[in-house]
Structure formats: structure tokens, C-alpha cells
Structure 1
Amino acid sequence: MPLFGREAELKALAGLIDGLRERGGVLIEGEAGIGKSALVAAAVSVASGAGLRVLTTTGVAAEQNLAYAGLHQLLYPVRAGMDALPARQRAALRTALGLAGPPEPGARAGDPSESSAQPGNTTAADDTTGAGDTTGGGVYVVGLATLTLLAEVAADRPLLVVAEDAHWLDRASADVLAFVARRIESEPIVMIAALREGEPSPLREAGLPVMTAGRLSGQAAAELLDSTAPGLAPAARERILEQAAGNPLALIELPGVTADQGGLGPTAPLGERLERAFTARVAALPLPARTALLVAALNESESVAETLAATHLILRARPLTDSGPTASPEVSPAPTSGMEAVLVPEVQAELEILAPAVEARLVEICGGLVRFGHPLMRSAIAAAAELGERRRAHLALAETLREHPDRRAWHRAAATAGPDEEVAAELDRAAAGARRRGAVAAAVAALEQAARLSEEREGKALRLLRAAELAVESGSRDTAERLVRDARELGLSPRRRATAAWLLSGFEDGVREDVSRVPELARLAGSIAAEGHVEPAVRILWGAAMRCFWSEPGQAARRLVLSVADGLPLPAGDPRVVAITAYAGPFERGATVLDGLRELAGAAGADPEVDRYLGSAALQVGAFDLAGRLSAAAAPGLRAQGRLGLLPRALAVQSWSLARLGDLATAVPAAEEAARLAEETGQPFMFGLATAVQAEIAALRGENEQARALADQAERVALPAGARPVLATVQLARGLAAMSEGRFDDAYADLSRILDPSDPAFQLGLRAYFLAELAEAALRAGRAAAMRDVLRDLEPLAASSPSPALHIGLRYARAVLAPGEVAEELFAAALRADLSGWPAERARLHLAFGEWLRRRRRAVESRLHLRTARESFDALGLAAWGERARQELRGAGESSPSRNPDAWDRLTPHELSIARLAAEGLTNREIGQRLYLSHRTVGTHLHRIFPKLGVSSRADLPRILRTYRPEE
């Protein structure tokens, strides 16, 4: 049938397929019945004609709770290619799809039948490490494996990936497809996804352009109606055109509905009229066909064999008449032996049951699959069935699916009205299997359903809290709040109340919460620890400590956190205790934290989450060299585990620290990746922090317009919620940009805000780590006296804390503000300090000392220091500071060569990441695994990178990308 009135859409889709060498994809959106599937079918036809391979998956409402069901359908035709994937990707994808053993040809979703999980499996609610632990690598490793597999398929033959009814895809599959959609920029792959208007889906956030399929024009609607129902009387034709209102499905279906079948109902919504049109056709079918249709509608698989097996069970238990049952007979158990024997030789005969439905154009049967003509048919048939009929169908399907425990559990649950601990336990196991495969949303749904069927109040509460914890892990705040609220209504034990109180604090590190939550959480942690539940207490206290970083609860709250931490029955060197102490008392406990960090740093790389804790702790106490090293050690493990929720946190700490040290060559790609992944994983304040670091880097490089734009972007994210570390870094970036432009009054005003307790940019720990910049701005702005007051306020901190950043800043500030000959002694003392890991600070000291000497007409002496500063700043890529050193050298009578652009001046941050890894000797495939890209995308980037750097091969990259290495 031709598509009427869709010329523009068809042209756009054909153009998309013709231009697939560029990044391609589209999201087709529209109301039910508007013709999205017809547009997709037309695109598939064009693609097939152009020689593309087509892979398709279709979302089904019945399988939304089956993890990776949609992905299984999409990849099943190319499953043989999994064997060539890198080991971790292969294992993650096979586990996700349930393909550890030979797959069943008709299956759509894998079943974790190997699961040994028991109903008593515990999470944070039961004193374990909780939802943060994952074993399968999660959606992101599965996403990378899918991307790699599709890229390999597309290398042999360009590929069209289709997701129909994407709003009904299970969440894990939708997340994977969104992951892939963001990363097909360099692949010969086109993705087309069809979504119902207004329905949520991760694919909406994947960056695909949207094509809205609207209602047909009057002329197109009339042409369509006349082509499908040419014999209509004029009055009926006008009535249908009016009520269909340009909806193509309505134009096709409504002519078959007569008045004695329910009429068209002028006030009924279009969706209701369409459903009545479908059910009117179903009502005319014989009972066996109606029964089979109901089973097919409720089954999440399209397998004809499954549908016929379950139908056989129902019909065997009730009379084959159209009069309906006189009672509600249960489905008797199917014989476990002989079921296949019944179906296999008699499939053709059994198919006759569905023949009337096929003739009525409700379903079609192809290749062992039964498919509805439209998704609305499936939902209409299920909705119109009586409760008893639906229950029998679910029980029959459960009996048929004994070899598929996940699906069986859901059908048994759908057929169970009251509490049933046996069925709840089955759902527990299904949840454990889903979580093991990284499908958190499916696990949440299974646990919530298990809670509904729990026989005991305590079991119900536990399952709700376990589901809430997983919802927190997946970022589903509304779901988590609802589950916690339901659990609280049951009347919780003290320990369960503590868990409920802690769970919701995981969102956004509590940034948007009132600061009164800090002492509340600290006291809660103390009471839970006193009852002997140490692990939940640690996690609750960590939540309180995080709030001390993002907000300012006051000294009393901080001391309470420290007091509770001191009372925990854990060794002082426990990494979590070290991190909590660093966040709550960065100066008063600085010595203890640094001792613990130095002891623990020797084991860096053993546990990426521990390294992440320690890297964050090191930043709090101003040990930026340690923070950069520990965060860098955490990143590979977090990548390998697919923990993209934690990875941007480690990268943000790494980039923040390295920018302070002057290692821009490493900080640039780390900050870019942190911002990109934080945005993708829904972490706005980590995105803001990484963006603020990018602003600081731009200012250090003299790119002041970009610095201001990035600072403004980060501030828009952070200011409404008062995310203090972000706002402090924003002010640093603005101050640096103002200094490089000679606006020292503005620079002092920007930087001094960080020290003002009443300002949103005040952050207790970070305020002491910008002293060199603040002292420089104060000196140039004529505010030296005010700066000396600042130093007097900070000197007590230095007496109690060995914070490296604090002492380096103080030594610099004392020297530049000191009078007369005292300054020379202070400069010399500052340069004698061990700054081997702090090249930017050392260069800044040389510059300041050279300037001081030149102002005293000691030009010859000044040149050595100014030259050292210029060379160091050039090597580090700190262009703004390097230019200042050149100006001072000219004043001292020495000219300077122009600075040649470094590699990071010529490459984007993303390109720099790839180039650096290639220079280290990694293959394209290894780089792709690190950066969650396909290896072909990496190759495309390298071909763009080589001309920018003036090289012809990756063998030249180490020479071009050499970076400043501080003195040992």
C-alpha cells in the first residue's frame, strides 16, 4: 500500500540512508496509529534495496520487565560475531543475553537459569556493601560490546538498526541502544527508532534528530480511505474522515466497525475507538482462536510454539464451545515429558487454531512467529479479556515456560492475586539474575512485584528497600522515593528506618538538601553503629561527609561527623574512614589523613573504588599530586568494570588536581571525558565540576572567551543548588582569565569570593588552595594589606595541617607580599622546598622572583628565573603565564622565541585522549575499550589527528606528544 501524504518524511529517510557514511539516525515520534511503523517499513525497504543489512527489534509491553529482551531480538541474527569480541565484552554480552549455553531459536530474552540467588540475598539493608557493587559490568560494558559487534557487522556491509515501539523496550535494552546511538558517528550505521508521542525513553536523550509524524492532511486522508474502503456510502465516508481526523490506522480500521458492533461513538477518544474496532473483530472469532490470541497478547515472546502449547493447556481444561466456561477451571499441569512431542509433529494442525485470526488480519504467522498487525491489537485484546481468562492464560504460559525461570516467574506473579511466598521467591531470583546482568530497572520491577506477593510484613519491607536501593543506583529518583514511602508505611524496625533514611541521600550527594541533614545523618550513623550494624553506618556517614564537601553545614556538624567516625569499630587506616575524615576535617585532621593516604597509596590499583575514595580524600587536604595519581589509578578499573557512574567522579578529581599542578596535557582529556560521561549518566553537579575545570584550563591557556563561556555554563548548573566546589572553581577560572587580561581588580574580586563564608562560592577546604593566584591579584590591585589579613587568618591552619597546597600557597604569598630584602630570603626558601611534583607552582615562583629582581634593576639575575618560568610554562601549555614571562624577559633585555603550538593546541580534548593512548602503544581496539568507542571510530579519529599534527603514522606520536616531566 502506498503511503499517502508522507512524501517529505520518505525523502528525509531516503537521504539519511544514502548519507550513512556520516553520523546517521532519526527518532520518529507520533501518536498511536499515526503510521510510524509504515515509515519504518519504507525505510527498511529503501535500505534493503541499497544493499544495507537490517537488524530490527520491536518493543513489547509484556516484556518490559525482562532484561535485555529487546537487545536479544536485535542481536540474535549476528550472535556468531560475539565470539570475536574482546573477552570482557564477550562475557558481558553473553551473560546479559543469557547465551551462556546454546540459545533457543524462538527465544527473545535470555533467562538467568544459572542463578543461585536466594530470596534472602542482602543489600545495604542487610549490612552488605549494597547497590554500588555490580558483577556483570552493567549496561555500559554491554553497550560497548554491542557497539563493537554492530561496527564489525557494518564493516562487511552497511547496517540499518531499527527499534520499533521503542517506548516498550525493556530499560536495559533502551539504555544500550541510546549508548550506541551516541557513538556511531564514524560507523556505516544508521539507527531509526520509533516512539509513541509523550512516552519516555532513554533514546530521547541520545542526540538523534526527531521526525514528528503528524496527522494526514484532508486530501491525503481521503485518498487513503478511498484506497482501503472504496465502497463506502458518502455519509459513512464523511463520518469516518471526521472521526479519524487524519490518523491512518483509524482510516483503515474504522470502516470495518458497524453500528451493531458498538458504533463509532462520536465522543469516544480515538484510541478507544480503535481498540473497540479490534475487539469487535476478535469477538467474531471461534473460542479456540480467541484463546490463542489472548495467550499471544500476554506472552512476551512471539513464538508460535509457546502460544500453541499454552493454548492447548487451556483448551484441554475447558469445553471447546463459544458459550464460555461455566466456572473458572484451573490449568492442569502439563506433562513435562512429551510436550515437545505433542507440538512438533502437529504444528501445522495446531496452527489452524489461529487461521481465523490471520484471516481477520489481526495477526500474521511467519517463520515460527506470531505477530500482531499493530501493537494496539495486543493491548486491546488483553484489556478486553475477563480477569479469569487472563489468569488462566498466564498460568498456562507459566506452565509452558518451565525452562525459562524469569519469564515463568512474571507469569505466575500476574496470575497471583494474594500473597504467595513461593512466587515472591521466584521473583527474587529473577531480580538477582537481572542485576547480575546489569539490568537494574528489571531487578527493581521484580523486587517490587515480589514485595506485593510477600506473606510477611518484614519480607515486604526488605524487598521494597532492596528495590529502592537499586533505583537509587540507576538514578530513578521518583521510583526510589515511592518505594521508600511504601516501605515506611509498613512500620520499620530501627535498622530498616536507618536504611530508608540513608537511601534517598544518595541522589546528587545531597546537594539540594538542607544542611541540617548532615548532623541528622551523623547521629543516625552513630545509632546504627551502636547496634552493631557497621557497614550501613559507614555508608550513612559517608553521605554526611559528602555533604560537607558540596555544602557548608558548619563546624558543629563537621565535628559531629568526625566524632562518629572516631567511634566506628574500624581501623584508623580504613580507606572509608580516611575519606570521611578528609571531607569533614580537611585541616584539623589533615596530618592524620595524609599519613593514612601515604600508607594506602602503596596499594593503588588493587581496588578502583578504594582508589577513588582516596583520590577524593587527597584533594580535600590539598595533596593534589596524590589526588591525581590515585584517581588515575582508579580510572582503568572503573572502565573495565563498566562503572560509568563512578568513572566521571574519578576523572573530575584527576582533572581538577592536575590542572592545579599544571599538567594540562593530561587534565584536558580527563576533564572532557568527565563532563561527557557525567552528562550521559545524569550527574549534573559532576558535570558542572568538570566543566568548571575546563574553564580553568582555558584560562590558563589564555583562551579567555572560552573560559568565561564554560564558567557561565558551570555556574548555571551549580548556583541554583549551591554546589560550592563548582562555584569555587568557577571563580578561580574567572580570576585567572581576568589576571591574564591585566584586570587585577576584577581578578581580586573574583578570587576573594572563595574566602567569604557568606558567599555561595565559599568552600572550607578549597578556599586555602588558591593563595598564589589571590596574592598575585592582590599585589597588582593594590590590595596587599587586605591580603596580609587573609594570610593571618590562614596561618593557624598551617600550624595544624601539613597540607601541601596550603603550605606552597603560603610560601608564595609571604614572598610576594614581603617588604625589602626579607622577600629575597622568602623566595629562596620557597624555591628550596620540594616542588618536584608541582611544576606549575615552581614555575610561578620563578616568574614572581624574576619579576621582583627586575623591578630592583637586577636584570641579569632576573633572566635566569624568567627564562626558567617561560620554558616551564611553555612545556606545560600554560600560554597565558608563558606570555607574561616573555614580556618580563623583554623588559629585562632578552627576547624570546615564539611558542610553537603544542599538540593539545591543535587537537580537541577527545582527539588528544585518543592520540595519547596511541602514543603509549595501545591498539585501536584497546583504545576503544578504554574510551567506550568502537575501534573503527578510533581509527577514523587517528586519520584526522595525523594531518593536524603533521605526522604520517602512530609511530611519530610519542615524539610529538611529549609532555613536560617534572624533575625527580
Structure 2
Amino acid sequence: MRLVERAVELTAITAAFDRCRTSGSEIVVVSGAAGSGRTRLLREVASVVSDSGALVLAAAGSPAETSLAYGVARQLWQSAGIEQELDAYLNQAGPERGARPDERICSELLDRIGDRPTLLCIDDVEHADPMSRGILLHLQRRVGSRHVLVLLLAGESAWTTIPSFDAELHRNLPCQRLRLEPLSHAAVAELLDVPTTSARAAACHYASGGNPLLLGALIADGEHSGADDDGAPPAPAAQFKSAVSACVHRGDEALLAVARCLAVLDRTPSQRLLRRLLRLDAAKVERSVAELTRMGLLDTYGGFRHPEARAALVEATPAAERALLNGRVAELLYSEGADVTAIATHVLLSGELNTAWSAEVMVDAAAEALRSDRSTVAADYADFALRADLEPGLRAAALVTLVRAKWRIAPSAVTSHLPALRTALRAGQLDTRGVESLLSSLLWTGRFDEVLEITRGDVGGEARPACGSGAQAALLWLEFLNPSVLDGTQTDHSPDRHHGDLGMRAMATLVCAVRQKRVTHAAAAADAVLQNCERADPLIETVLAALLTLILVNELDRAENWCERLSSDFRRRGLISLTAVVAAVRADVSLRRGRASVAVREAGMALSMMSRASWGVVIGYPLGTLIAARIDTGMLDEAENLLRRPLPPELLDSTFGLPYRYARGRHALASGRPYAAIEDFRHCGAVMASWGVELSTLVPWRIGLARAYAALARADDARSTLEDQVKQATGRSAFLGAVALRLLSSLDEADQCLPLLQRAVGVLENSGHDREFALALAQLSNEHYARGDSKHSRTVARRAMEVARSCECEAETRELLLGGEQFDVADLLGENDDHYPELTDAEGRVARLAVNGLTNREIGQRLYLSTSTVEQHLTKIFRKFNVTRRTDLIGMLRAEPSNAVPAARLPMSPLTSPQKTPGNPPNNAEYPAAADTINVLLH
């Protein structure tokens, strides 16, 4: 590192030496904090003086040699080449040494100097032994008429430790004092070779405090790690930590002790606390803190400028000493009534719980950390407190805090604590939060029978524990998870009765939505619950229940908005499990809207946040969404791999097993195994029937079952299933009825086909199910085309493609439109038909009409082209396919069907009606037996 800001000092010292050549001896004293560049400056001065031919005599003090008599003097004599004379005198005994030793010792050195210009420099003079300081004072009284510059370098506060020596320096020779200030911001920028406005220069200047030693270490660490000069300051590594250690070890024992104590205390110290802790007088503590500040290690508030500087000092402190120091700090902080959080940090680091107050502090600090969303810290504090012999109530409080903290991060980590929670429950030591935590954990892992035992009081034949509202909320959640387990147990479904209990309101609202009670108020009630979940500490199932309510009542916009708000809040607060659950709901919403690739990403992210064990029985929800989204994106192999994952045995006995079963059925259908698909879809319906609930909004099993029947060409069974879905959806999930109507319209050539599709489009338009809306529009466009209404067909097709582009189902919608042989809307699809990549868009449209038997004139009328233009297109087409007749072209263009859309996403081909053309209007076949129900929907 270049001496950027030491040129002034260098010039001042060389100027003093030049004066000594003509005017006599002088003294220059240079002071500065450790690492400020004193030694580098001395070497630079010595080099300049030596090059001029002058004599240079150098020595340096050391803390390790302060008690060594004549240690510094010996170095001076050695540099003058007369060390043997000094040794000879010092080895003499008795009266031969004489009465004036300083004069006898110095005479040889003075003879060696003579009249030559001489630089006599001593670094770290404050560490010189007393005998050498006496020699130095004797010399400065004898060199006044000679040409000697005495250059002394010392620490910032050195002269306060040896005031008599400092006072004596001024008595005989002119004495000039120089102080090495920290490097300025501009100097740091110059050293880094970056503009002064650079953020890196500012960061490095602050981190080093302008200390050249620390700055150089930072730069060296950055070069070693390949840090970008335009970025942030390099992360401190080995050299920076070594520089920090070097700075503090250059001071006295008090400085080192204060530095280590400050590192242990972090940002909670006061000088009074330091004095009590180290048993030092105020002056020493104040001087040491000031010196550490001048070194650039501390800021003006007494905290370390860089956390790695503190870490270096903590690491350098022996473990036993560190633990003892933390224990003493904790005691002092407790005696002064400090905040429990500050005390708990040091109790934990001390590794001991020797007093009753220390365990209580840890329990209180754990609860405080949990309230401030420091879940990991709360778990550490509570776990440490439980190692002590706590009284039962305090132990139960610590246990509940530990469970709630772990539940936020990884619910599976709570399992080992459930027996202890049940024991505390039997003893009546759990509060409402504790009961909630116990029951929530048991339900999450599918241990439904144990929940019933607790809520009914059948726990080992003992008295019924006071579970309160926590038990009621658990029973409502259990009613959603598996109503059959309740076996007649009555639950309160009215959300209005539970204004003071967030969990109860959420669960009651969800059950009402499932039971089709008070559905019109469900969305507002869910909103109220979720508003109270923001910046609060809700249970996972409370948030999940409220969001699922919005899904069940088809409020997708609200659900999506809440997912965005809650995800941002929970992620910021580090609530991993809640963030994961919200991501799972958001994935479901994306899938329902038709954004399958987004659903894949969000469901995958949700599953990656927590382990399979931490998801418990709820894993069926995000896993089912991910499998279904993989199917919709054509990734059947990836979906199959997901189906091979092991699952908790309790999953398929819970409501969250239904999305998994439904997704498995969809995969079987897409893989060409319709019988396996039928079994899974029927199972979903049978489970709902046995529970007496209707969850088709969550799992549209009838739609899947109808598709499976259609794949087996069982049109009557498919029709019957869809009609059943239409009946079930009346007054409930209208969008499912609309989907069923869309598929029913493909079964027959009934006169009601067009109004059915119009009704389906009307319902789906504002339902939020964009994919289904786009497909319904495409079918409606085809129906208009089949009835000869080209104008409406093009209008609806254009709208279908607009919606399809917004929900990632362009290919599916395009395939459906092209399947209707709508060549007059081909220009709306944005690309040439996938069947004929060799042809231009215009050629592709002409070719499709030609192979369907239209004459050149008819093609021209259909496409608004002249007959000659059609002939030119056909000539180019024949040339590209190397044919001469239309009959050859027909065989070639119809040879290979398009595979652009995965089979799983195609409209049900068995449910698609025969080809309709403008000249072939639909017949008047009678509509099936469910016409009355459909008429109700239409009117």
C-alpha cells in the first residue's frame, strides 16, 4: 500500500533532518493508533536518510521486552556496530563499573556518531525498558551540538503512561510532534482506484475506520476472493481478522481485556459495566475505549464497525474464558435490571443455568423472541431453559414456546415434544396456546383418534382436561379433515358466536362452506379472519382454512390477493411453514385459472420449503396440485415420479387425500389407463358420499369421471355423470355446472347446443377459471361456424384466443378451433397450421380448404381471394409437395394428426360431435332425459 496521506509527515521529518545537518539536533515524536502506519513511515524515512549517506541507528520496543534491562539500548549499539563494548561494560562487576553508568555507556556511541548527520529512531518507544529510556534521555542531553535527529514513534496514548519521560524530552532539544490521522475517504478511494463517489470506497472507509492496516487487509482479502471492484466491500477473511488481532495486541493488557469484553458484550456495554466486569479504574477503561475507536475498530457509539472485527476477537478468546465472561456479564445485566433478551444471550453463551433467575430469564426471553418473529432464537432459548430443573408451570410455558417456535419452521420437529405436552395437559398446566399447539400438531399428522380422546377427556381414565375453545376449533378442523371420525360428536358451525377466537371463526366458516350453509357470508368471514392473521401469530390451519373457504366458494381473485399479501408478510417475518401453506394455495389458484406452468413453480416451491414429514397429511394438497399441473403441461413422466413418492398412511383417510387421488386419476387417464382413472374418481365420490359432504369445488371428480367414460366410448355413462354434475352445481358451484354444460354440448346435435354453450360462457366469464372460459369460447365459435354464422364465429374466436393467451392455453384453444375446420378464422390464430410447416400461412389455409373438396372459386370466396390467387397458391403447394393432383395432396395432408397439445388437455374427443359444415345444419335430435334440469339452468 502506498503512503497516500503520509507524504506530509514524511516531508516534515526529512525537513527536520535537513535542519539538523546545519543547525544542530532535534527531536520529532510521531504518534498514532495501532495500524496507522507508524512503522511504515519510519522505514520510509530511514530509507531516504540512508540514501543520503547519513548514519541510521534504529531500535524498537516490545511489550515482551519491557522488563529486559538495556534491551532497546542494545539494539542501538548493535546498529552502530559497537554492541561488544556495551556488553563488556555491562558484564563488568564491582567498582570497575564506576559511579556514572549512563555516561560510560553513551560515550562509545557518541564517539561513533561524531559530527556525522545521524538519524536515531526508536519505534514503539513506550515499550522501552526504564534503563534504555534513561540512556535515551542522557543522549539527548549530549547531542545538542551535533547533527542528530531523534525520531521517536509511539502509540496514541503512550505518553500518558510515562509522563516524566515525555516532559524531559522538551528540556534540551527542539521537539516537534506529529500525529498520524486515519486515512480520509478520498485516500481510501485512491488506494482502491475507484471514484470518490463509489459505494465501495465509502463502505471500505467505514469498515476500516481509515486504519491503513485494516484497509490493506480488506483489500488483500478482496483480491484473494476475486471481489468485484465496483461492488460492495470484500467480505473480511483471514487477513482482516489477523489485522484486527495485531491491532489489539499492540496495546497493553488493559486494552486487550477491554477489546475482548466489548466483543462479548456486543452492543450492550456501558463503561460502568466494563469497569465492574474487568475491575479496572475508569481512566484505564476510558483510555482503552478511546484507543480502540482511534484504531478504527469501534464507531462513535462504542460498537464494532464491522461484525467480523468482533468475531475475530471472540474467536481469539479461549472458550473457557469466553464462557466465564458471558456468565459474569449475564449476572451484571440481571443485577442492573436489563432487558431479558440482552441477558438471555449471555446466559446461553455461558452454557450454564446455575441460578433460578437464569432459567426464568430464558423462558421470558424465549416468549419475547417468539413475539418478535425470531423463531430460531426462541427455540434455542426455550430448549436451553428446559435443561434446568424448572417448576412445572414454568416448564410447561417453556415447552409451549419451544413447540410454537419449531412449528413455524418445521412442524415435524414438534413430534418428539407431543408426549410432554400431553403430560402437561393432564396436569392442567397448559394454557389455551398450549392446548391449541397440542391439538394442532396431532391433527396435522393425522392422529385423529388421539384428538378425540383429549377433547372427550378419555385420557388414561383421568379427569377431562380443560381444553376450552382450543378443543372446539380442533373438532371443527377435524370435521373438515375427516368427518367420519367424529362419530356423532356435535360441533358448533356458527362463525358469529366466535368473534373473540380467530381459529374458531376460521374453522366454522370453512365447515359452513363445505356444508353449504351461509355460503353468501363465507367470503366476508374469511376476509375478516385473514385480516387478523396479518402481522399476528395464527396457527397454520387458521390461515389454510380461511384461504380454502375462498377456494370453495370460488372467490379466486380474493384468494389470490390474500396469498400475495400474506406471503409477503410471512416471508418477511421468517414464518416458513405459513409461507409454504400460502404458496400451496396460490399454486391451486394458478392451476384453476389455467396457468399450469406457474402452478408447477409455486407448488414445487411450497413442497421445497418443508420436508414431507413437516407437511403431514396436508401434503396431499400441494402434491395433488403439482401432479395435475405437470399433467397440464404435458410432463407425464415427471407427474409419474411424483406419484411414486411415499406418503403418510393417514393421508388417504383425510380430505387432503382427495386432491391427490384426483390427480392420480387424471394421470391414469392421460396415460391411457381409463379404468384406473375411473377407480380413483369413483373413490373420491364415494368418500364424499360417506362423509355426507360435497367437495366437488375442491375436487371435480364427476368431470374427471365423465372424461374417463368418454375415453372408453361409454357416451351414456359420460352423459349421465355430466347431468349429475349439472344438478349438483345448481345454486352451488355454478362454474362446475358450466364446465359440465360445455362438455354436454359436445355429445349430441341437439338444438340446445348453442344456448348451452352461451350459458356456459356467461357463467365462466366472471368465474376466474380462464382456461375453461377460453375452451368454452372456442366451442361456441365452432358452433356459430357450424350454423353458418361466420361473423360471430370470428368474433368469439378472437376473444377465445385473447383469453387463452392470458392463461397459457393457446395451443389447446387453437387446436379446438382448428378441429372445427374453421379456415376463415385461421388468420386469427397467429401462426400457420402445425400440420404443414412447409407452407406459408396463406398456403396452409388454401391447402386445408382444397383437401376438403372446395373448388378454387369456393376457396376464394371463403378466404376473400381472387380465383387466380388461389391457383397461384395451389401451384406453389403442389411444387412443395411434389404432386400434380388434388387427390395426392389430400392423402399427404391428412396422413398425420397434430400432436401439438398433450392428450390430457384436449377436449374430450369422444364427447365431440360429428363434423359440422355450413351446409349441414344440426339435426333436431331430442335432448337427453336431463333436459328439464338443463332448461332450469338456461332460464
What TM-score range do you get, normalising by the shorter chain? Answer: 0.3 to 0.5
Q: TM-score, normalised by structure 1?
A: 0.46
RCO higher in structure (CA 8 A, sep ≥6): 1
Q: TM-score, normalised by structure 2?
A: 0.47
